[in-house]
Amino acid sequence: MNKVYDDIWKHKLPLDEVMLKYFETTNDIMEAEHTKAYTHRMCKWVSNTIRKKLGKNDKYEVGDIMICRKHTRQDGVTFNVNFPFEIKDIKGDTVIIESIKTKKQYPTDVEVLDNNLTYGYSAPCHSSQGASVDKSIAIHEWNKKQFGEQKMGLDFYNKGKGFKQSKIICKP
């Protein structure tokens, strides 16, 4: 992955050219097991698109994985950014979520989900620094900054493939 870094930062090659040189691309948003994007806005778009392709019609469903995107305190409980939760039960506006890490369950409401959590089908690249992934990854935005700070743990992208959507080149 040092070659990728060198082509971007030392040789100043255009980013799209570098990505096409080192990574495969795909038009199938469902192909990769993991999806990453540079911005939360794109993560939300990817997650919503995947939900539609999976045939999920309700706003929230039992079994949905949600990622906390905004540090939140509710009834003495803190929900930390980037922590995943699974929806365990829904009754009206009350939603029971379970921490994937601790298995503790918390009652919350639809408003908290709407304002502070997003569907877990995509995560921002910066939240994956240092991660080791054995399955395919789709990256849904490229930005030089991803490769700048501490090389972004470029070995994370070993399984990368690009997703082409409009003019965005992404690698899974």
Looking at residue 81, its pLDDT comes to 84
pLDDT over 60 (residue 67): yes
Tell whether 55 is covered by a domain.
Answer: no
Domain at 92, CATH number: 2.30.30.40
pLDDT over 90 (residue 159): no
Looking at residue 86, its pLDDT comes to 97
pLDDT over 80 (residue 19): no
User: Which of 104, 119, 134 is where one domain is finished?
Assistant: 119
User: Which of 76, 93, 119 is where one domain is finished?
Assistant: 119
Looking at residue 138, its pLDDT comes to 75
Is 112 in the same domain as 141?
A: no
Bigger pLDDT: 64 or 79? 64
Q: What's the whole-number mean pLDDT along residues 135-145? A: 68
Is 132 in the same domain as 100?
A: no
Is 138 in the same domain as 115?
A: no
pTM greater than the 0.75 cutoff: no
Is 109 in the same domain as 145?
A: no
Is 111 in the same domain as 132?
A: no
Written as one string, the DSSP assignment of 125-160 is GGGGTT----S-EEE----HHHHHGGGGGGGGGGGE
Looking at residue 128, its pLDDT comes to 64
Looking at residue 143, its pLDDT comes to 61
Tell whether 106 is covered by a domain.
Answer: yes
pLDDT band at 157 (very low <50, low <70, confident <90, very high): very low
Looking at residue 134, its pLDDT comes to 65
Tell whether 133 is covered by a domain.
Answer: yes
Ranking 21-35, 68-82, 87-101 by mean pLDDT, the lowest is 21-35
Looking at residue 158, its pLDDT comes to 44
Tell whether 52 is covered by a domain.
Answer: no
Q: What's the whole-number mean pLDDT along residues 131-138? A: 68
Number of domains in the chain: 2
Q: Which residue matches tokens 């870094």?
A: 5
Tell whether 48 is covered by a domain.
Answer: no
Is 115 in the same domain as 127?
A: no
pLDDT band at 90 (very low <50, low <70, confident <90, very high): very high
User: Which of 119, 137, 161 is where one domain is finished?
Assistant: 119
Is 69 in the same domain as 115?
A: yes
Q: Which domain holds residue 90?
A: 65-119
